[in-house]
Structures are given as C-alpha cells and as structure tokens.
C-alpha cells in the first residue's frame, strides 16, 4: 500500500475504488481539481457529458396497452377468451344472436376485470412517481472559487462539495477538509448499522478491498450527516456509487410469483385440463348422433339426399362442439378473476390509508402470508438467509431446560 500511495494517478477512474487508501491531495491531483476553487463550468459541462447525470435510472413503466394485455395471461381467462371467440364465429355462421349475447357477457366481465387491475397498478405507479419527484435534492458545490447550490443530478466526479448537518450526501466522495471537531454520518441504508459512524479525512486504510465500514474517509451517496461539516471531492456518481450498485442489483432481480398468483395458476391449469377432457369426451360420446342432429339443424323439411350426408354430419359436429364449448363456459368460474381483483383492490385501499403503496395487487396477499420476519440486532431486514442455530426448551421450572443444536 505504501508503494501505491507514491504512484501518480492521472484520472478519477484510477482512484475511484481506492480513494480511501490515498491522501486527499492525491485524490484532488488525480481529479485535476483545486480544492479551494473547484471545477470550472466548462470542465463540469464536459465531465457531465462524459459521465452522465448523477442519478439512478428510473424504471420505465409498461404502456397502458401492455398493462391491459397482461391482465389476460391467466389460463382461465384464456379459456373464456377462446369460448367467446367460438361463440362469436358460430353466431355469424348460423345467423343467430345467441352467440353474440354470450360473447358480449364474457367480454364485459373480462374487460371489467382488466380495467380494475390496470387502474390499481397505474394509480400506485403515479403515487410513487409523485413521491420521487417531490422536493428534488440539491447540493452545495464549489465551482470557479464560488460556492453555489445546484441540483445533485448535475454533479460530476471531481466536483468539490460541502455538506452540513442534516444534508444528504449527494454522491460518493473523499473527505478533504473538516470544519468541525467531529464528523458523524448515518449510513444504515448501506451497512444496516443504526449507530452513526465517525469520519476522518486524515485516516488512511491499507486494504484496498476493505468493507464499507472501514472506509472512514469516504462519504457514501444517500447517507445522512448527523453531526459536523466538511468538504470533499466526488469520486463516483450515479450507478457507480455504492447505493447505485444496490439499485442495479434490485432492477436485475427477477420478480417472484406471489403465493396467491401461484395457487390461482395451479388451479387454472388443473381446471383447464379437467374441463378439456370432459368437453372432448362429451363431444366424442355423441359422434354417432352427428348425422341425425345435423339433419334437424339443416332443415327438418329437406331429405338426406338433397343436402348430402357429409353436410349433415358436419352441421351435427358443429352443434355438439358448441354444446361442449357451452359446457366449458359454464364450468369456468368467470366471476373468480373479478372477485379476486375486487378483494385485493379493497386490501390496497386499506393499506393506502396506512401510507403503504401497493403497486401490484397480488402483493397484498403476499404481505398477508407473512408470519415471521427475521431481523438482526439493529432491526434491519436480512437477506433471507438467517437460520436457526440453537433451540432452548423450557419446562415449568427454569432449571428444567433443554438445549438443541440445529444444523442445515
């Protein structure tokens, strides 16, 4: 480490990950900036074009048409859509209104269910976006020898920033100068430790790959200043910050299926198989009645020879196929999606009254299934990898106890 400190660094990329092992002067030299003057406006503009905005990319929501179509991915809904389509086609072939009525009823229920789901998801997204855009975060930056307040998103690596009590650190920065006897930072968002951490610009760390808690001369983006005042130089912005790495890992994580969604999907697949088998059997049982029924459907006045045996058989086949489809529609609980959606929507309204925003409806049921929350000594949630090591069993008296070691 002593050799690395003597090395000359020519850019902020060279020192971004090892700034905690270098002196403040070395970091300032690598950033090519004067700690008493800061960057010029021209330099800041060029660096902004190079590194981009100091903000986390916002997740783009799906358009309304995609959200609407996503409501029809349920297996039961797909069966109802198929039944509605068959009813519509048969009504045109036969010239009757019976199929049109069935089509209208099924589609009305499905569209209502989809609209409720889209409305709830859009409402939650709008509320979350409103919270994110409320009171944009600003920062005090030294440029061309003058201290000014700008949007934190316009900060670039190499900017000299000043933070005070109550400020939120706008980016990862190396502390260069303290204007108070002590500097304490609340960085529970990163480390989980609720106690504030003392920072000191003069303390250097030998290990380049040390833990975040050991980087006592670095302030991390998103943490809060609870005591003191200091000035530092920014070394990382946007997704390159420690909080940005966490945000990136969250966006790359796959969404897990909620217990309710899994149960409904399993129920839909099972019901689909049962209904399909029953409908096919009912259709095949009447195969010997196709010709006789076809004659009645075509016309009771025309004879078999005038219309043809195949035509009568075909119309009889279509008739019993419609009967099988009607049986499938009757067996499917088309009201189930609407009932489930309504119940979940009522649950989201109750959660909203307690200032909890639910973006996806099934998340309400997921919260309801939570029976145990594992947390460490600071009260922060773990990574779902906590395991039981020992079990203590007590009887009526304190003396009669049993200790069990748990493995696996």
Distance (Å, whole) CA 66 – CA 153:
31
Name the catalytic one among 224, 304, 376, 396.
376
Q: Known catalytic residue: 376?
A: yes
For residues 325 and 306, the answer to whether their CB atoms sit within 8 Å is no
- Going from the C-alpha of 314 to that of each of 234, 286, 292, 304, 309, the distances in angstroms are 78, 13, 11, 13, 9
For residues 155 and 172, the answer to whether their CB atoms sit within 8 Å is no
Give the phi and the psi of residue 310 in degrees, each rounded to 5.
-65, -40
- Going from the C-alpha of 260 to that of each of 256, 341, 344, 348, the distances in angstroms are 12, 12, 11, 15
Partners of residue 393 on adjacent β-strands: 402
In 3-state terms, what secondary structure has residue 88?
A: helix
Query: Residue 167, by phi and psi: left (phi above 0), alpha (psi -120 to 50) or beta?
Result: beta
- Going from the C-alpha of 119 to that of each of 176, 222, 334, 342, 357, the distances in angstroms are 50, 32, 20, 12, 14
Contacts of 111 (CB under 8 A, 6+ apart): none
Partners of residue 394 on adjacent β-strands: 401
Distance (Å, whole) CA 121 – CA 338:
15
- Going from the C-alpha of 54 to that of each of 195, 222, 230, 338, the distances in angstroms are 27, 12, 20, 44
> Per the structure block, which two tokens stand in for 54?
């100091």
CA-angle at 373, arms to 256 and 226, nearest 5°: 100
Distance (Å, whole) CA 35 – CA 112:
62
Could you please report the per-residue DSSP string of 15-48? HTTTGGGS-HHHHHHHHT--TTT-B-HHHHHHHH
Kindly report the number of other CB atoms within 10 A of residue 241's CB atom: 25
For residues 186 and 143, the answer to whether their CB atoms sit within 8 Å is no
Residues with catalytic roles: 376
């Amino acid at each position: 480490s002593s050799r690395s400190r003597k090395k000359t660094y020519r850019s902020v990329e060279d020192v971004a990950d090892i700034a905690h092992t270098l002196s403040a002067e070395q970091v300032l030299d690598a950033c090519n900036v004067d700690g008493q003057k800061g960057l010029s406006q021209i330099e800041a503009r060029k660096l902004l074009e190079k590194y981009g905005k100091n903000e986390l990319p916002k997740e783009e929501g799906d358009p309304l048409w995609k959200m609407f179509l996503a409501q029809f991915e349920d297996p039961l809904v797909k069966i109802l859509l198929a039944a509605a389509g068959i009813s519509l086609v048969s009504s045109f072939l036969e010239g009757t209104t019976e199929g049109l009525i069935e089509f209208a009823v099924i589609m009305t229920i499905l569209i209502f269910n989809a609209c409720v789901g889209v409305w709830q998801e859009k409402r939650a997204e709008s509320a979350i976006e409103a919270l994110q855009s409320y009171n944009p975060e600003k920062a005090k930056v030294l440029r061309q020898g003058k201290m000014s307040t700008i949007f934190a998103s316009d900060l670039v690596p190499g900017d000299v920033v000043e933070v005070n009590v109550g400020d939120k650190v706008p980016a990862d920065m190396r502390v260069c100068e303290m204007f108070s006897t002590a500097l304490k930072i609340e960085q529970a968002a990163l480390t989980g430790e609720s106690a504030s951490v003392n920072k000191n610009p003069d303390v250097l760390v030998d290990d380049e790959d040390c833990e975040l808690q050991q980087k006592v001369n670095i302030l991390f983006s998103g943490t809060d200043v609870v005591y003191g005042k200091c000035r530092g130089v920014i070394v990382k912005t946007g997704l390159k910050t420690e909080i940005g790495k966490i945000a990136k890992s969250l966006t790359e994580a796959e969404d897990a299926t909620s217990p309710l969604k899994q149960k409904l999907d399993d129920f839909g697949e099972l019901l689909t198989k049962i209904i399909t088998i029953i409908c096919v059997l009912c259709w095949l049982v009447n195969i010997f009645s196709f010709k006789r029924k076809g004659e009645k459907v075509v016309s009771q006045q025309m004879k078999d020879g005038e219309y043809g045996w195949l035509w009568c058989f075909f119309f009889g086949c279509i008739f019993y196929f419609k009967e099988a489809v009607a049986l499938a529609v009757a067996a499917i609980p088309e009201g189930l999606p609407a009932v489930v959606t309504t119940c979940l929507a009522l649950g989201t309204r109750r959660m909203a009254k307690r200032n909890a925003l639910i973006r996806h409806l099934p998340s309400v049921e997921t919260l309801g299934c939570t029976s145990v929350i594992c947390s460490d000594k600071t009260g922060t949630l773990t990574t779902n990898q906590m395991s039981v090591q020992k079990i203590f069993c007590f009887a009526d008296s304190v003396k009669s106890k049993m200790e069990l070691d748990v493995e696996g």
